[in-house]
Chain A
């Protein structure tokens, strides 16, 4: 009897082994270690159920180390089959080195608009090398309870925006706006890139900067800095040493009323607030009633194929699925605040995320002005913008001087800006 069982066990082990041998396991490189659970519990089971024979192993690294780790793995030939793509030059460099495969012929690419694909294309748009996964939208989060208490309405225009801030400041219960400058990127990303598109008219200004017909010293590019300089009065005490986590905590603890945000904060904030108050969102204010509104709808994550992958066919199957409506819906709902780039609209359950995505209907979307092409040289425009935005808010540099400095830096290496 025991013997039979043993034999049966042995046989089943071999058979399981044989079955496993036919399976292809694809490893996904990613910096989104926050998403590990979502991949393991939602995304991977859904894919594996529909595609027996392909297993997915999601293997993320820490965000700050991702680029360096990925580059060395690719050079050493030990990188996974699927590569999560940073937007623009970091991935373009990998494609040019022949480390990312050309995915232009993927069928599901038809599901994405040109703007969505622009982050993972060659400059002429002839080759696309990553499937767009998600974008993040900038705007402002606010504490609904605080607004009700003070009888405030979410502002639409710039004047209303400052009127609201003045009232919160006057009342004194809440810090009007939670933001600090030591980390610098908050000032640039949640400040300059958040309200800026309204002044440089989104894509129009961004493209004009790339082709050289506008300069960073033009009115549309200096005015956002002037606005940021005004923010100084509404930030909390000691904002010069208030870090990004400090700002997040001030808002989620209900001590600050408004938080200049990126939509990725939704998923982070909701569990922390844990129902203590309700969170709302308003779009970057427009200058005058009736103006077109512009939002930064920044292409942030894509996924591509390691050119050296042994399992390219299986990986392409997975990438086709990532481009499908099914993935878009799963991903957008599992991660509120990361919006699908798929052209077919996705139903989302999260109310704040719905609010963010609703701006797409009326407002002109653009991406962060410094990301495409303009940050290729030294000095790096994105990094300089961080520094300039923080300086302007700290009051150590005037908006005009900051813009002047950025323009000089850009013109020092970028030919279209040199005339």
Chain B
């Protein structure tokens, strides 16, 4: 009979630093926030109100209108990223991995550089470029005779959010590009050669051989985009301010949370409603990630070389 192994202490010891740090700076604040959303301001300080804050957020016509507006904007923001950023990223990666492309390293770097810039710089620079007064966008359009196409995009309700989403795409397109590029490089040469032997080259080769092999990477990128977009705040705050104008057309869940939690101008901050919104955001992201993990990722076929 084999001797029962003793408790393997070293595992606990090695895990401890990470677990402790993560608990202290992530898990405890998260639980604190979830907890805070169950309280409200009473006569004598903080009182337990159960789910009343959620009832206000979803039941009160003003709160719910603001919330659904932010959520719808957020969904559109995400959709623009999925439809523009990720396909463009895949396309750029495919071009970069082409052996005939000259100066590939230069393009790779140039496209990736905006990703490492601060939101503040990106927001400010694009605001200047698109400024109807000092911006270079109107002059550049003028130079090609298309001045009539220019409009103060950031100031119109119909175009502001899409414009900002595209600015964000410009900034972050480097990330899907790099991940897909790495995935493309990891496809073994034998597979490609075998395809070529069978006469599959060019675009058919990309669609039939390479794309299925990089699908898991695209899945991961979609999840990262989803989480990033539903937590987005900085770009809107920098370029449109906390009021997310014009007329809340660019209000995302992040800016809605900020305004509620910290207050704005004469509006005093309300930590309880703020925590309620934060909890709702947490729920939305959790559901989104779960859908991906359980419904999509498990069905993706993986290839072993």
Residues on A close to B: CB < 8 A?
Answer: 67-68, 88-90, 93, 180-185, 236-243, 246, 250, 370-371, 375, 378-380, 382-383, 386-387, 390-391, 394, 396-397, 409, 412
On chain A, the residues within 8 Å of B264 by CB distance are 380, 383
On chain A, the residues within 8 Å of B130 by CB distance are 241
Partner of B243, one of A246, A370, A378, A383: A383
On chain A, the residues within 8 Å of B151 by CB distance are 238
> Which of A89, A241, A412 has most B Cβ within 10 Å?
A241
On chain A, the residues within 8 Å of B266 by CB distance are 88-90, 370-371, 375, 380, 382-383
On chain A, the residues within 8 Å of B243 by CB distance are 184, 383, 386-387
Question: What are 23 of the A-B contact pairs (CB < 8 Å)?
Answer: A89-B268, A181-B155, A181-B245, A182-B154, A182-B241, A182-B245, A182-B246, A185-B265, A237-B132, A241-B130, A241-B154, A378-B62, A378-B270, A382-B265, A382-B266, A386-B243, A387-B247, A390-B246, A390-B247, A394-B155, A394-B157, A394-B246, A409-B62
Judge if B207 is at the interface, Cβ distance under 8 Å.
Answer: no
Residues on B close to A: CB < 8 A?
Answer: 62, 127, 130-134, 138, 151-157, 240-241, 243, 245-248, 262-270
**A375 touching B240 by the CB < 8 A rule?**
no
Q: Please name the residue on chain B nearest to A71 by beta carbon.
A: B269
Complex Cα gap A180–B246 (Å): 11
Q: Please name the residue on chain A nearest to B151 by beta carbon.
A: A238
A238-B248 CB under 8 A given contacts A371-B266, A396-B157: no
Partner of B62, one of A90, A383, A397, A412: A412
Q: In the complex, how many angstroms separate the beta carbon of A355 from the nearest chain B beta carbon?
A: 28
**A68 touching B262 by the CB < 8 A rule?**
yes
**B131 touching A396 by the CB < 8 A rule?**
no
Q: Please name the residue on chain B nearest to A391 by beta carbon.
A: B247
Complex Cα gap A259–B90 (Å): 50
**B155 touching A396 by the CB < 8 A rule?**
no
**B134 touching A246 by the CB < 8 A rule?**
yes
What's the count of A-B pairs with C-beta under 8 Å?
A: 102
Complex Cα gap A397–B263 (Å): 25
Q: In the complex, how many angstroms separate the beta carbon of B275 from the nearest chain A beta carbon?
A: 15
Q: Please name the residue on chain B nearest to A237 by beta carbon.
A: B132
**B241 touching A241 by the CB < 8 A rule?**
no
**A390 touching B131 by the CB < 8 A rule?**
no
Complex Cα gap A68–B263 (Å): 9
Complex Cα gap A399–B127 (Å): 29
**B267 touching A240 by the CB < 8 A rule?**
no
13 further A-B pairs in the complex, CB-CB below 8 A; given A378-B62, A382-B266, A387-B247: A182-B246, A183-B245, A185-B265, A237-B133, A238-B132, A240-B152, A241-B131, A241-B132, A243-B127, A375-B267, A382-B265, A390-B245, A390-B246
Q: In the complex, how many angstroms separate the beta carbon of A143 from the nearest chain B beta carbon?
A: 17
On chain B, the residues within 8 Å of A243 by CB distance are 127
On chain B, the residues within 8 Å of A89 by CB distance are 266, 268
Q: Please name the residue on chain B nearest to A86 by beta carbon.
A: B266
A240-B155 CB under 8 A given contacts A184-B243, A246-B133: yes
On chain B, the residues within 8 Å of A387 by CB distance are 243, 245, 247-248
Q: Please name the residue on chain A nearest to B158 by beta carbon.
A: A396
> Which of A68, A90, A378, A396 has most B Cβ within 10 Å?
A378
Q: Please name the residue on chain A nearest to B247 by beta carbon.
A: A391
Q: Which 4 A-B pairs have the closest CB atoms?
A: A238-B132, A240-B155, A241-B155, A241-B152
On chain A, the residues within 8 Å of B62 by CB distance are 378-379, 409, 412
Complex Cα gap A237–B147 (Å): 13
Q: In the complex, how many angstroms separate the beta carbon of B125 from the nearest chain A beta carbon?
A: 14
> Which of B245, B248, B263 has most A Cβ within 10 Å?
B245
Complex Cα gap A85–B132 (Å): 38
Q: In the complex, how many angstroms separate the beta carbon of B19 from the nearest chain A beta carbon?
A: 30
Complex Cα gap A237–B240 (Å): 19
Complex Cα gap A237–B133 (Å): 8
On chain A, the residues within 8 Å of B262 by CB distance are 68
Complex Cα gap A388–B224 (Å): 37
On chain B, the residues within 8 Å of A88 by CB distance are 266
**A90 touching B152 by the CB < 8 A rule?**
no
> Which of A180, A239, A240, A412 has most B Cβ within 10 Å?
A240
On chain B, the residues within 8 Å of A67 by CB distance are 263
On chain B, the residues within 8 Å of A246 by CB distance are 131, 133-134
On chain A, the residues within 8 Å of B247 by CB distance are 387, 390-391, 394, 396-397
**A181 touching B131 by the CB < 8 A rule?**
no
Q: In the complex, how many angstroms separate the beta carbon of A64 from the nearest chain B beta carbon?
A: 9
Q: In the complex, how many angstroms separate the beta carbon of A255 from the nearest chain B beta carbon?
A: 9
On chain B, the residues within 8 Å of A382 by CB distance are 265-267
Q: In the complex, how many angstroms separate the beta carbon of B17 from the nearest chain A beta carbon?
A: 30
**B265 touching A241 by the CB < 8 A rule?**
no
Q: In the complex, how many angstroms separate the beta carbon of A191 from the nearest chain B beta carbon?
A: 15
Q: In the complex, how many angstroms separate the beta carbon of B299 from the nearest chain A beta carbon?
A: 45
